[in-house]
Amino acid sequence: MPSPYREIFAAPGSKAFSAAGLLGRMPLSMFSIGIVTMISQITGRYGLAGAVSAALAVSAAVLGPQISRLVDRHGQSRVLRPATLVSLAAVTGLLLSAQQRWPDWTLFVFAAFAGCVPSVGSMVRARWAAIYGGRGLLHTAYAFESVLDEVCFIVGPILSIGLSTSWFPAAGPLLAAVFLAIGVVWLTTQRATEPEPHPRGEHGGGHTLRSPGLQVLVATFVATGMIFGACDVVTVAYAEAEGHKSMASLVLAAYALGSCLAGIVFGLLRLSGDMARRWLVGVCAMAVSMIPLQLVGSLPFLAVALFVSGLSIAPTMVTTMALVEQHVPRAQLTEGMTWTSTGLAVGVALGSSAAGWVVDVHGAAAGYAVSGVAGVLAAAVAFLGYRRLHGPAPQRPGGPVPQPRGGSDAHDGDDRNDDLSKGIVA
């Protein structure tokens, strides 16, 4: 492992909470595509499959920030387990309603409660911020977590689609639920690295989403999520149309692999200059990478096109999290990070629903037009909001960088990176 990655894991407990976060985030890549695969297997209706997946995403978008707000106020260990229990109970009901062919409306009811799943990635990034806040190593830590996100999107669809198509339809979402339970329990037992909670009075009475910079990031991520949601649904449908539905997992893995490799390289860099400009370039690169998908003619070509498209994802995500850390109060950091996930979830809901409708009406290949339109929209929003991100960061109330429960000595700080952190993270 390259030196910067070894350095971030010098902090006691960092390997354990990052590993727990990896397990807890596996459902991020498994639930949506697993539900699409399960329902399409059982009913043959991609429109219904996309709509239920969209309902789950909307539910997560509504409930996720509220859960993270409670986490900021009361701590991860007190909030995550009850929220996860609610989500797991709802997922169980969703799987039963699909398997038993209950009325369609039951799928949407259970999907609405299944969205109570916590944003495990935000919880892990908050722990990194508590350890390395204000240091150059935070850039590397965020990059590493983005790489793990992409590992989830490489392995998750393969497991979810593979199990659902070769074993039984509900196998993929069921395994995702198991990963969520194990990951959250493991993470919440690690109290030493858990950031100290900030009671209501420490939040200054302001709503996190009032930050102009965060508004731009969330709005752009809605369009970005549309890209991802459409790609998931259309790729499964296209693979089925080609007679190789199980290959969809490998094609989507190529998409995540491109992002994973780019994230590894990006984490090694010590960049200076305007972070907002880097972010804008990344969003525009994602938009441009949607053009080859409009010319798809075979599964191998699709895999290559998605791999190239994936190269812009992780660097953009890393820069986004650094901008969130710069533009929201430290006492509301978990909630701020979750709002970006919420934007993605809303976008995934819109993209998967629209793509499912296009596939049903016009065929699988036509569905990639949804991704193309979403890419143009993301670039447009990023351009229009760029001025809100450009220039000096706003005042960030909330006191010093949140410390892990183990105290400020929970890591051996490396001050050599302080100067490098300017222009990279807040």
Least confident of 9-23, 239-253, 363-377: 239-253
Q: How far apart are CA 196 and CA 71, in angstroms?
A: 10
Task: Using CA atoms of 232, 235, 236, 237 in order, give the dihedral in degrees to the nearest 10.
Answer: 120
Q: How far apart are CA 156 and CA 25, in angstroms?
A: 10
Convert 296-325 to b/e letters by CB count within 10 Å (16 or more is b): beebeebbebbbebbbbbbbbbbbbbbbbb
Query: What are the two backbone dihedrals, phi and then psi, of residue 298, each rounded to the nearest 5 degrees?
Result: -160, 165
Nearest 5°: CA angle at 358, between 221 and 367? 60
Least confident of 98-102, 321-325, 365-369: 321-325
Residue-wise pLDDT for 311-341, tens only, equals 998 889 888 887 887 777 767 777 777 788 7
Residue-wise pLDDT for 38-52, tens only, equals 888 888 887 788 788
Q: How many CA atoms lie within 13 A of 252 on its CB side?
A: 36
* CA neighbor of 133 nearest in space, from 345, 321, 259, 306: 321
Q: Which residues on adjacent β-strands are paired with residue 404?
A: 195
Residue-wise pLDDT for 146-173, tens only, equals 888 878 877 887 788 888 888 888 888 9
Say which residue, 162 or 303, is predicted with more confidence.
303
Instruction: Give the Å distances, CA to CA, from 322 to 103, 211, 217, 423.
Output: 44, 15, 11, 10
Give the per-residue pLDDT at 353: 77
**Greatest Cα pair distance in the chain:** 61
Residue-wise pLDDT for 43-88, tens only, equals 888 778 878 887 887 888 788 888 888 888 888 888 999 999 999 9
Residue 417 pLDDT exceeds 70: no
Residue-wise pLDDT for 185-237, tens only, equals 999 999 888 888 877 644 444 567 677 888 889 899 999 989 988 888 888 88
Work out the pLDDT band at 135, boundaries 50, 70, 90: low
Give the per-residue pLDDT at 18: 92
Domain 3-196+209-392, CATH homologous superfamily name and number: MFS general substrate transporter like domains (1.20.1250.20)
Residue-wise pLDDT for 257-296, tens only, equals 888 888 888 877 776 767 888 889 999 999 999 999 888 8
CA 245 to chain centre: 25
The full set of domain ranges for the chain reads: 3-196+209-392
Say which residue, 15 or 252, is predicted with more confidence.
15
Q: How far apart are CA 120 and CA 377, in angstroms?
A: 28
Give the per-residue pLDDT at 94: 92
In the predicted model, what is the mean pLDDT of the chain? Answer: 81
Give the per-residue pLDDT at 141: 85
Residue 372 pLDDT exceeds 50: yes
* CA neighbor of 133 nearest in space, from 355, 379, 336, 330: 330
Give the per-residue pLDDT at 392: 47
Instruction: Give the Å distances, CA to CA, from 21 to 5, 17, 190, 245, 354.
Output: 17, 6, 11, 30, 31
Nearest 5°: CA angle at 40, between 104 and 147? 110
